Structure 1
């Protein structure tokens, strides 16, 4: 693989396919000047990302500013990928929404009560895939 095709842009379907292969991603929130990143276990629900959270800073931050980034990635010895979801986060409020979400099998990884389901609704979805191979020859010492 040469440098020209070392990075490939994923289309929307490929992004969702890749997101479905993982269970842990990172949620980025912003409240004022403070930017935070949280690891979350998640599930893809149709074309949204769903995670659970407890009461606290993450949930509070989403009520102050619902604009978030969500990122997940994966790799093998031969390739790697990364998908970024930009969008808004909303807490599921109705009994019907929560009942449906309960059926998706999303369970907390740590023994804490996470009663709140949050859905990330994409405004944009971008992804890239990378072929993994040795670094190209650098032709000796590089000038800086």
Structure 2
């Protein structure tokens, strides 16, 4: 049987930075929403690139969100998960986004000129070994 271990903040940030895909959730006017998105971690800040007309841009600017980044092996039942919670902020201009972050490429095609930033997030993580 696997043991559930709490991760410290440093390890949680490191693991979240190793993955390029996460799920972001928020409360919308019609109920909870969860979407898979590409992300990058830079200076303990999570960044997401998105299109100008996405639900992210319309609904999460300056509102609370939760993000889950994880890696689980379904055969061995070993893995980890990191949750980040905080207030998202939309950046409409590239000059307010760090250069390293601007290299993030999303899996879907099409223009993604806007950025969602989750800075100062509460971070918790767990490992199943």
Q: Is the TM-score greater than 0.5?
A: yes
Deviation beyond 6 Å, 4+ runs, structure 1:
none
Match of 2:110 among 100, 109, 112: 112
* 1:33-112 pair list within 5 angstroms: 33-54=30-51, 55-63=53-61, 66-76=63-73, 77=76, 79-98=78-97, 100-101=98-99, 104-112=102-110
2:19 corresponds in structure 1 to 22
Q: Are the equivalent residues in 1 in contact too, given 2:93–2:114 (CA < 8 A)? A: no
Q: Are the equivalent residues in 2 in contact too, given 1:85–1:122 (CA < 8 A)? A: no
1:8 lines up with 2:5 in the alignment: yes
Give the Cα separation in 1 of the matches to 2:108 and 2:65.
Answer: 23
**1:33: Cα distance to partner?**
5.0
Structure 2 residues without counterparts, runs of 5 or longer:
none
TM score, norm. by length of structure 1: 0.78
RMSD: 2.0
Give the Cα separation in 2 of the matches to 1:16 and 1:94.
Answer: 26
**Secondary structure, in 3 states, of the residue corresponding to 1:44?**
strand
Residue deviations 1:42-73, cap 9 Å, x none? 0001101001111232210113x610000010
**Secondary structure, in 3 states, of the residue corresponding to 1:18?**
helix
